Amino acid sequence: MHHDAAVERFYTTTAWRKCRAAVLEEHGGLCQVCMGRGLINPAVHVHHKVPLTADNVNDPRITLDISNLMALCEDCHAEQHRTKRWRCEPNGHVEI
């Protein structure tokens, strides 16, 4: 669930529904990440590589540009949204 009302509204628009359907069709309804791994899984999400925010939700180059969208299965979509609980410093030290 998104926390911004404008972003939530965007996901109900006809333009988004048509674009989402086109992305899924373009990839045969299959997850792009899984296909890259030699696996076949149905895509159930269309993910924005550049996340939508209140500042960019009205920019069709972000919201509706196919180059910013990925067809993903449930697991791959969850992985895209998983937040890191650690970070690696340039010296190789891991901060938790």
Q: Give the lowest-confidence range in 11-15, 20-24, 67-71, 80-84.
A: 80-84
**Mean pLDDT value of segment 77-92:** 68
Which residues, 6+ apart, have CB-to-CB distance to 85 below 8 Å?
96
Q: 53, 38, 50, 47: which is closest to 75 by C-alpha? A: 47
pLDDT at position 82 is 79
pLDDT at residue 84 greater than cutoff 90: no
| Global confidence as pTM | 0.78
Report pLDDT for 94: 57
H or E element that contains 51 = none
Instruction: Name the CA dihedral angle for 30, 32, 37, 42, rounded to a multiple of 10 degrees.
Output: -20
- Mean pLDDT computed over every residue of the chain: 88
- Residue 1: per-residue pLDDT: 47
Could you tell me if 78 and 44 are in contact, meaning their C-beta atoms sit under 8 angstroms apart? no
